[in-house]
Chain A
Amino acid sequence: MATETIPIIDLGPYLAGEKGAMDRTARELRFALTEIGFYFIVNHGIAREKISAMFAEAKRFHEQPVEKKLELKLDQHNTGYLPMRGNTLRTSTVQAGTKANLNEAFFVKREMAPDHPDVLSGRRFRGLNRWPDLPGFRDTVVDYCNEMERLVQKMVRLYARALDLPANYFDTAFSDPMFSMRMTHYPPQDGPVDDEFGLAPHTDTSFLTLLAPNKVQGLSIRTQSGNWIDAPAIDNAYVVNGGQMLQRYTNDLFLATPHRAINKSGGERYALPFFCDSGIDWPIAAVPTTVGPDKPPKYPITWYSDYMTWYLKRNYDVLNTEQQAAE
């Protein structure tokens, strides 16, 4: 029952608290996540101005001189600046990626207080963000991340219902979710040179990814039939997909669909994916409605830090160089 079309889910009635809307929307979500692994959301409640302000900040950031950006080079928490060709998707389950990705990106995580115990203890993935010297940049980005987090916290109730779980099933798991805001710049590209992509085919690691509405196209996804289709431009719609953590949470009931990006627009392209996961201490394992005595969990239990440490070590050349330098 796979589909070749990315479904559009209207969140309006659910967010307005209309009777019956939650379960109806959850059924649409279940269809999307079992048949294609991607969906659009409209009437999501995020103001257009906030989205355009974020695109403006992404542009402003990447227009800085590279030396300036390199002062914030990606650290072990995976926050900061990832230069062009800084990562190679060796973990890709989709195809053997050998060439580095043709994009540069700035990563932001939750803005932690300097005296937070996790910051003080140097806990990995719970460090302080590093900010460029650009007035207003930090406020805009933090505000946008807050908006994304609140939207995710509303959406996980639909995920719970889509899995036949009580609506609040994921509430505690997502009360202090892990997230990573990737502010990406894709320079113009004529077409892939052999296997060079803006972003090579891959699946995300996330429970869910919220990709901001984009006027410049570039994303393609691989459907269950193996076709690569281009995500259509839909005004003010977020593109949402799940990743490897969602597969683990659902014992592969929900898909992590491969996707890639190539910027053939002739101009600069920016993209704003917000990757969201459960709290750093929450176990990542199949929910009860997806396992049973005859259907054991396919994956051993894992934890955000363990999984991401493994993933980043394999994919981020820039991090590995630094680690070697430190050794």
Chain B
Amino acid sequence: MSATETVPIIDLGPYLAGEPGARERIAQELRFALTSIGFYFIVNHGVPESQVRGIYAEAARFHALPLEDKMQIRIDRHNVGYLPMRGDTLRTSVVQTVTKANLNEALFVARDLPADHPDVLAGRRFRSSNQWPADLPDFRETVVAYCDAMEQLAQKLVPLYALALGLPAAYFDGPFCDCQYKLRMTHYPPVEAPPDDEFGIAPHTDTSFLTLLAPNEVPGLSIRTQSGQWISPPASAKAYLVNGGQLLQRWTNDFFLATPHRAVNRSGGERYALAFFCDSNIDWPIAAVPTTVTPDRPPKYPTTWYTDYMALYQKRTYDLLNQQAAE
């Protein structure tokens, strides 16, 4: 496994256009990225710039609401709704001991399930209706359309993951049908000189199979390469930044990386970030794919399921939820 100090740029154009051989070639680039640094940019991803601008505008509009309004839709046990500033502490971080809460606020949106969906009616965890702010016309429509676009993009990416793992292209089609996802619409206020261990978001790895981070002209993100260096990927107005998390590690028996990253907003102005965390279907087992295990290299992790894993993770991370649980 070779390491790199540069986040590779993967051009999806030829693959999305169906050019012969493009899929296999790009899968090799993906494999390099996910084994060498764990982050990659995608360009020619097919998401219109206007749609990206639109969702940023909604994020700004939402966070400009008075705090009392936002607190009306405070984050719930499904992890949808509003997470106030310093509402979470990344105790689960595998990167460093984190004790200070994160200096950001966020709105979490999941798949917009209808109120009469069986999972909603049953109160199934992580399968709820979303919590929408009152009095923000078109907010919901814009956000749902953006989530649909992200889901479609993720579904186009997973065949590349399959090929990158030596599997048939359709391997992940089943698990990523009705996939689990969360859109995190984050607001980082400006910070002049943060104390040592206070971050916009503290060093952590994601939980996701893949995270699609919208093109961002305001810098703030850094990632830790395999050599241990922290580097700041260049800010880009066009490229999505993609990375994998703990569930990708489990799917690949640690063959693909979940690279630590953090955010500090030193831009002097407000910073918004739009991370779309995507995972397999809630009922799909999460376990090492066959090309990453052998009799001599057994699975490192026991089989898990989205709900079990996330319930544990959230319990440790979200102070607010725990307070509510204690009440």
Hey, which bits of chain A sit against chain B, CB under 8 A? 165-166, 168-169, 171-172, 175, 279, 281-289, 291-301
Complex CA gap A296/B298 in Å reads 5
Q: How large is the interface on B (under 10, 10 to 19, 20 to 34, 35 or more residues)?
A: 20 to 34
Determine whether B291 belongs to the interface, using a CB cutoff of 8 Å to chain A: yes
How far apart are the CA atoms of A166 and B179 in the complex, in Å?
13
Chain B residues with Cβ under 8 A from A296's Cβ? 293-299
A-B contact pairs, 20 of them (CB 8 A): A168-B174, A168-B177, A169-B284, A172-B171, A279-B168, A282-B168, A283-B167, A283-B289, A285-B290, A285-B293, A288-B285, A288-B303, A291-B303, A292-B299, A293-B302, A295-B298, A296-B294, A299-B295, A300-B294, A301-B294
Does A166 lie within 8 Å of B290, measured CB to CB?
Answer: no
CA distance A257 to B190 in the complex (A): 68
The residues of B that contact A169 with a CB separation of less than 8 Å are 174, 284
Query: B294, A289: Cβ atoms under 8 Å?
Result: no
Question: Which residues of B sit under 8 angstroms from A291, Cβ to Cβ?
Answer: 287, 293, 298-299, 303
- Whether A171 contacts B174 by the Cβ 8 Å rule is yes
B170 neighbours in A (Cβ, 8 Å) = 172, 175
Q: Is B300 part of the binding interface, using a Cβ–Cβ cutoff of 8 Å?
A: yes
Q: Which of B167, B288, B295, B303 makes the CB contact (< 8 A) with A298?
A: B295
Contacts of B4 in A (CB 8 A): none
Q: Are B295 and A281 in contact (CB under 8 A)?
A: no
8 Å CB contact of B303 from A166, A292, A300: A292
* A283 and B174 contacting across the interface, CB-CB below 8 Å: no
Cα of A286 to Cα of B286 in the assembled complex, Å? 13
Alpha-carbon distance between A175 and B167 when the two chains are bound, in angstroms: 16
| A292 & B302 in contact (Cβ 8 Å cutoff) | yes
Q: Given A291-B299, A292-B303, A293-B299, check contact A166 B284 (CB 8 Å).
A: yes
Complex contact A293–B168 (CB within 8 A)? no
Contacts of A279 in B (CB 8 A): 168
**Residue contact B285 to A289, C-beta cutoff 8 Å:** yes
Q: List B268-326 residues whose CB lies under 8 Å from chain A.
A: 281, 283-291, 293-303
Q: Is B29 interfacial (CB 8 A cutoff)?
A: no
B173 at the interface (CB under 8 A from A): yes
A158 to chain B, nearest CB (A): 16
By a CB distance below 8 angstroms, the chain B residues around A300 are: 294-295
**Closest Cβ of chain A: how far from B154's Cβ, in Å?**
17
CB closest chain-B residue, reference A295 = B298
Q: Which residues of B contact A288 (CB under 8 A)?
A: 285-288, 303
Which A residues are in CB contact (< 8 Å) with B287? Answer: 288, 291
Chain A interface, DSSP helix/strand/loop, else mixed = loop
With beta carbons under 8 angstroms apart, the residue of B173, B283, B296, B297 that contacts A172 is B173
CA distance A294 to B299 in the complex (A): 8
**A295 contacts which chain B residues (CB < 8 A)?**
298
Q: Which 5 A-B pairs have the closest CB atoms?
A: A296-B298, A285-B290, A288-B287, A288-B285, A166-B283
Partner of A283, one of B177, B283, B291, B299: B291
In the bound complex, residues from chain A placing their C-beta under 8 Å from that of B167 are 283
- Evaluate contact between B173 and A297: CB separation under 8 angstroms: no
- In the bound complex, residues from chain A placing their C-beta under 8 Å from that of B301 are 293
Q: Quick one: closest B residue to A249, CB to CB?
A: B290
A contact residues around B171 at 8 Å (CB)? 172, 283
CB nearest neighbor in A for B302: A292
Residues of chain B with a CB closer than 8 A to A297's CB: 293-295, 298
Which A residues are CB-close (under 8 A) to B293?
Answer: 285, 291, 296-297, 301
Docked complex Cα distance between A175 and B174 (Å): 11
Q: Mark B201-240, 1 if CB is under 8 A from A, else 0.
A: 0000000000000000000000000000000000000000
B residues within 8 A CB of A284? Answer: 290
Interface set, chain B 130-154, CB cutoff 8 A to A: none
- Which residues of the other chain, A, contact B290 by a CB distance below 8 angstroms? 283-286, 301
Please, how many angstroms separate the alpha-carbon atoms of A299 and B296 in the complex? Answer: 10
Q: Report the Cα distance A213→B168, complex, angstroms.
A: 36
Residues on A with C-beta less than 8 A from B174 are 166, 168-169, 171-172
Chain A residues with CB under 8 Å of B283's CB are: 166
Residues of A contacting B295 in the complex (Cβ-Cβ under 8 angstroms): 296-300
* B173 contacts A165, C-beta separation under 8 Å: no
Complex-state Cα separation, A305 to B293, whole angstroms: 20
Chain B residues, Cβ within 8 Å of A292: 298-299, 302-303
Distance, CA A285 to CA B285, complexed state (A): 15
A163's closest neighbor in chain B, by CB? B285
Inside 8 A of B294's CB, which chain A residues have their CB? 296-297, 300-301
Minimum CB distance partner of B165 in chain A? A283
A267 to B285 alpha-carbon distance, docked (Å): 51
Name the CB-closest residue of A to B280.
A166
- The residue on B at minimum CB distance from A169 is B174
* B242 CB to nearest chain A CB (Å): 24
Within the assembled complex, what's the spacing in Å between the Cα atoms of A289 and B285? 8
Cα-based distance from A283 to B301 in the complex (angstroms): 20
- Smallest distance from the beta carbon of B119 to chain A beta carbons, Å? 14
Q: Which residues of B contact A293 (CB under 8 A)?
A: 298-302
Closest to A279 in B: B168
Task: Determine the distance from Cα of A172 to Cα of B168 in the docked complex, in whole angstroms.
Answer: 10
A156 to chain B, nearest CB (A): 12
> How far does the Cβ of B219 sit from chain A's closest Cβ, in whole Å?
40
Q: Report the Cα distance A299→B284, complex, angstroms.
A: 23
Quote the shortest CB–CB distance from A167 to chain B (angstroms).
9
User: Which residues of the partner chain A approach B288 to less than 8 Å between Cβ atoms?
Assistant: 288
Report the minimum CB–CB distance from A107 to chain B (whole Å): 25
Residues of A within 8 A of B302 (CB): 292-293
With the chains together, A289 CA to B177 CA distance in Å?
20
Q: How far is the CA of A301 from the CA of B292 in the complex (A)?
A: 9
